[in-house]
Structure 1
Amino acid sequence: MASKMTPSSYAVLALLYLKPWTGYELTQQAQRSLRYAWPKSTRLLYSEPKKLVERGYATTYKEKAGNRSRNVYEITPEGRLALAVWTQSRTQPPRMEIEALLRLLFADHGSTQDLFRALDELEADIGEHHQAIVELMASYLEGGHPFPERTHLSVLFATFQIDMFKAIERWIEFARGEIAEWQTTKDLGMDPRTETLTRLLANDQTPLNK
């Protein structure tokens, strides 16, 4: 029985729609183009083309590379149809995984310095991603998009990414100011400042917009 199709499967299938790839090329391209929207391990991505072949959504053939041969994957008509059907299906609910936020939720097991360090690390990581997208957009202006006919899609996606990165950077600055007023991470409860923030949030407002 063929393995169940997942969003990762369809993402790899969409890459095959663009052109045939070797397994290695496909994995590298997936990591470049999907890492900000659908980050997955190399091992998982490498298994997806075989799953597509099992379902008849892709075929594979041998290609000479020096003294060696390698498998090249190519989408089939059935794969093109499956991709079209997927684009019309219900999307999965969004998920966010940021370990620094997990550390915040359980910060009462550590110190404020531990929390500051987690925020510093988050800021460094987000800053790196932010700068990478800015540089990528600059390369597009020089004709650097590998599939220029798809530039409008990449740029619209990049607007989401940059806005998200800026929002996280603003929140980090705000969180540092709040934590700086804490003597400890433990047992502060509903103190006056927390009550003020809670009332804002209960009215669908945020102090970051003030």
Structure 2
Amino acid sequence: MAQRDLTPTSYMILGLLTVKDWSAYEIAEQVGRGVAELWPSADRQRYNAPKILLERGLVTASTVTKGTQRSRTVYSITDEGRTALSDWLATQATPPALQFEGMIRVIFANQGTIADLRTNLTTMREQATRSRSLFVSHAQRISAPEAGTLPQQNHLMALANRFMIGHFNHIAEWADWALEETADWPDTVQPATTHRKRTVSTLAHSIDDGSS
């Protein structure tokens, strides 16, 4: 059975170790490459997770020293670790959850100014554009002749990469639409009544999209 009290970050690290042995620094570096946009808590857990895996016997650790370089801890996956990863992959994933502060600010924007709302929308668009660029650069790297860090997983990386680029495309496009939609709003309060027909039309469009 999968060890359910382990986090996806731990299983992510086990997955990395199936490719080769990694130092603690290398693991943290790999987990930090674009993972924060997909699994935010991974960034907080990437330094402690290997130690927990070691305590469980899912990895081993050895101290390696090269020449005059400072010694480093290198982790290797055990047979028990491979079994735990395989068992976890066979379980049902938890539903996706979105942590999106900008959208919370949209929902309660009637307590602030129209300038605040539109600044927030602009920030959301800029953030999405930057994140999209990050995944575009990932796609370019794994498409290169040297095929990136994990060439044996490029076909899987491509699946995830397309989703992430599409996700941030959607946010950027939505922010552009929202900026246009709010362009004639005098404030964040009056449109509740003055733009009622437009609100109903927007909701109808959303219903149509959701049922298609």
Output the TM-score relative to the length of structure 1: 0.89
Aligned twin of 1:199: 204
Deviates most, 49-58 or 14-23:
14-23
RMSD: 2.1
3-state DSSP of counterpart to 1:96 = coil
3-state DSSP of counterpart to 1:39 = coil
**Residues 170/33 of structure 1: CA separation in 2 closer, same or farther (3 Å cut):** closer
Q: How far apart, CA to CA, are the structure 1 residues paired with 2:71 and 2:50?
A: 17
Correspondence 1:107-186 to 2 at 5 A:
107-143=109-145, 144-186=147-189
3-state DSSP of counterpart to 1:32 = coil
Percent identical pairs in the alignment equals 32
The partner residue of 1:83 within 76, 82, 85 is: 85
3-state DSSP of counterpart to 1:62 = strand
Q: How far apart, CA to CA, are the structure 2 residues paired with 1:82 and 1:108?
A: 49
Between the two proteins, the alignment pairs up a number of residues equal to: 205
What is the Cα deviation at residue 140 of structure 1? 2.6
Give every structure 1 segment of 4 or more consecutive aligned residues whose post-TM-superposition deviation is greater than 4 Å. Answer: none
Matched letter for residue 196 of structure 1: S
What is the Cα deviation at residue 12 of structure 1? 1.4
Output the TM-score relative to the length of structure 2: 0.88
Aligned twin of 1:103: 105
* Equivalent residues of 1:13, 1:79 under 8 A apart: yes
The partner residue of 1:92 within 91, 94, 97 is: 94
Q: How far apart, CA to CA, are the structure 2 residues paired with 1:75 and 1:140?
A: 24
What is the Cα deviation at residue 51 of structure 1? 0.6
What is the Cα deviation at residue 67 of structure 1? 5.2
3-state DSSP of counterpart to 1:73 = strand
Q: Provide Cα deviations, 1:117-162, integer angstroms capped at 9, x if missing partner.
A: 1111111111112122223222333224112111111111111112
Q: How far apart, CA to CA, are the structure 2 residues paired with 1:200 and 1:114?
A: 26
What is the Cα deviation at residue 41 of structure 1? 5.5
Matched letter for residue 175 of structure 1: A
What is the Cα deviation at residue 205 of structure 1? 5.6
* Equivalent residues of 1:31, 1:39 under 8 A apart: no
3-state DSSP of counterpart to 1:74 = strand
Deviates most, 153-162 or 195-204:
195-204
3-state DSSP of counterpart to 1:72 = strand
Matched letter for residue 120 of structure 2: A
Structure 1, gaps ≥5 residues long: none
**Residues 33/172 of structure 1: CA separation in 2 closer, same or farther (3 Å cut):** closer
